[in-house]
Amino acid sequence: MITAETLEALKSALGPKGWCTDPDELAPYTRDWRGRWQGETPILLKPATTAETAESVRICAAAGISITPQGGNTGLVGGSLPQGEVLLSTARMKQVRDVDTANDSLTLEAGCILETIQTVAADNDRLFPLSLGSQGSATIGGLISTNAGGVHVLRYGMMRDLVLGLEAVLPDGRIWKGLRGLRKDNSGYDLKQLFIGAEGTLGIVTAATLKLFPRPSEITAAFAGIPSPSAAVELLGIAKAASGGTLSALEIIPRNALDLVLKHIPGSRDPLAAAHPWYVLLEIGAGRLGEGRAAMEAALETGFEKGIVEDAVIAGNEAQALALWQLREPIAEAEKAHGKAAKHDVSIPVSKIAAFIEEGTAIVERMAGGAEVIAFGHVGDGNVHFNVMRKTEGAGEDFVASILPVTEAIYGLVQTYGGSIAAEHGVGTLKSGDLAHHRPLEVELMKSIKSALDPDGIMNPRVLIPRG
Ligand SMILES: Cc1cc2nc3c(=O)[nH]c(=O)nc-3n(C[C@H](O)[C@H](O)[C@H](O)COP(=O)(O)OP(=O)(O)OC[C@H]3O[C@@H](n4cnc5c(N)ncnc54)[C@H](O)[C@@H]3O)c2cc1C
């Protein structure tokens, strides 16, 4: 329980713009994006600088008060919602500290929004390749803390691969200044990697130095109707070979997901004449004009010859490419409009994705009458969003609860296939029990690291590592 004295100390450390207790203002910070969970906090802190963040953490640590860090609050596993903890938002920490084009790096504060980072990179004739549906709200601190993925992992890797250096406030309030723009630094343990994917359990990320890449001269996107997930995997190999390493995305979309988008997302349009059971969206980012289109045409032609592509359209310009992405990016939003879903963000070795989808779908059909599978996502890197929805609209939390035995069976299948039950969204509070169940030794080791850095358990308790 936080005392009046601690509350006053926090308020005076941050000044009038740096805190809030008004329930109306707090509302968007204490509800998650999917509307599944309600959080509560005695106070929202909004430090404007790393020094203010450190001072806030020192005050909380001295009083034994726990903290939940929050960025854009777009996380899907409940990690950014306080349950009585002090809520610390990075919303005011938005400075771009440095752009070093010769070093192909960019240093900015944790509250910067992903879209801003992409724009700053483009303004400097560079690419920051991370791209995902929540990029208008997700922050660099949140993306790092969840080790976010998105649609370009196939070519550029996850957030873990895009970070050169970090600055973080430790659970006792000390500031670790690890903002090094180095690609080689063999000086012992790579400490920044501990904070990447830690979901706020080891400290607060306050700034990061990120890698920049050359901007492709031409982005070519295509949308193809295909008969099955195994066709998608085969086409992946063909497109990789045809594009010489410049294939940046291959996403799979089932017909029922496309139907949801066409129904709920204004302006969306099916670009193909007939309906197909599955679709893929491919993107090639070529270095020279004309190369991307030629590679895409070659890949699709081979696909037609092999009978794994039924129909396809290649975007002729940027607007058309964006329209194709508008069939993929808003799937989560369209699902939300349909009703609550049991979401399984899992990864499987690419070679086994088709078999996994088939077996998983059979499990759902056997165990959950009235439900259907919407399996979409990043086939190029093995990440499937294996979601289970009620066929009729308007399902609530009771539906998700009724699916729990199915979730257990799906997670069991993921283990059988050598996959992971947490691919890109993280563990949060949603999956901490499942993770401890499936990977007990790994969670034990994580507990040891947590105790070493945060012996009093101040930082985001309940998240990632179950209590006790
Ligand atoms: C429509 C939609 C599409 C999405 N698509 C994808 C996708 O394709 N790929 C993907 O990976 N994710 C996706 N997500 C999930 C989400 O956007 C990511 O997890 C994102 O990284 C969260 O960023 P955030 O700033 O909103 O973090 P938050 O939701 O605020 O926080 C997420 C976690 O990070 C911690 N945290 C936040 N900031 C800090 C900090 N500065 N220091 C320490 N800990 C911190 C929080 O405590 C919490 O545990 C999607 C979400 C939505 C709503």
pLDDT, tens digit, for every residue of 344-355?
999 999 999 999
Domain span holding position 198: 96-214
| Domain contains 157 | yes
- Does the pLDDT value for residue 316 go beyond 90? no
Question: Distance between CA 313 and CA 324 in Å, rounded?
Answer: 9
Q: Which atom of ligand 1 is nearest to the CA of 133?
A: 3
Distance from residue 426's CA to the centre of ligand 1 (Å): 8
Express each pLDDT in 426-466 by its tens digit: 999 999 999 999 999 999 999 999 999 999 999 999 999 98
| Residue 385 and residue 150 in contact, taking contact as beta carbons nearer than 8 Å | no
pLDDT at residue number 301: 98
Q: Cα dihedral sign for 363, 237, 146, 253?
A: negative
Q: Which of 368, 369, 281, 381 is nearest to 323 (CA)?
A: 281
pLDDT, position 318:
86
The residue whose CB lies within 8 Å of the most ligand 1 atoms, and thus the one to mutate among 109, 134, 156, is 134
Closest atom, ligand 1, to C-alpha of 460: 47
pLDDT at 365 (0 to 100): 97
Does the C-beta of 39 come closer than 6 Å to ligand 1? no
Residue 467: the pLDDT is: 78
Q: Is the CB of 75 under 6 A from ligand 1?
A: yes
With beta carbons less than 8 A apart as the criterion, state whether 381 and 250 touch: no
> Which residues lie below 8 Å from residue 224, measured CB to CB, with a gap of 6+?
235, 279, 280, 282, 300, 303, 309, 310, 311, 312, 313
CATH code for position 357: 3.30.70.2740
Phi, psi of 404 (to 5 degrees): -50, -45
pLDDT recorded at residue 371? 96
On whether both 231 and 188 belong to a single domain, the answer is: no
| The pLDDT of residue 204 is above 90 | yes
Average pLDDT score over residue span 320-333: 96
Q: Please check whether residue 461 lies inside any domain of the structure.
A: no
pLDDT of residue 50: 98
CB 276 within 8 Å of CB 255: yes
Pocket perturbation via mutation, ligand 1, pick of 331, 425, 431, 435 by most ligand atoms within 8 A of CB: 425
- Collapsed DSSP state (helix, strand, coil) of residue 383: strand
Domain end among 74, 89, 104: 89
Supply the CATH number for residue 21's domain. 3.30.43.10
Q: How many domains does the chain have?
A: 4
Q: What is the mean pLDDT of residues 122-139?
A: 97
Q: Is the CB of 204 under 6 A from ligand 1?
A: yes
Q: State whether 133 and 204 are in the same domain.
A: yes
| DSSP letter assigned to residue 38 | B
Q: What is the pLDDT of residues 17-28, one digit of tens each?
A: 999 999 999 999
Angle in degrees, 0-180, between the axes of helices 404-416 and 353-367, rounded to the nearest 10: 150
Per-residue confidence (pLDDT) for residue 359, from 0 to 100: 98
105 and 201 share a domain? yes
**What number does the ligand 1 atom closest to the CA of 110 have?**
41
Whichever domain contains 233, its CATH number is 3.30.70.2190
Q: Are residues 167 and 106 in the same domain?
A: yes
Task: Kindly state whether residues 125 and 37 are assigned to the same domain.
Answer: no
Q: What is the CATH number of the domain that holds 124?
A: 3.30.465.10
Of 432, 20, 14, the closest CA to residue 201 belongs to: 432
463 falls within a domain:
no
* Predicted confidence (pLDDT) per residue in 359-409, tens digit: 999 999 999 999 999 999 999 999 999 999 999 999 999 999 999 999 999
CA separation, residue 313 to residues 90, 329, 370, 415 (Å)? 42, 18, 34, 37
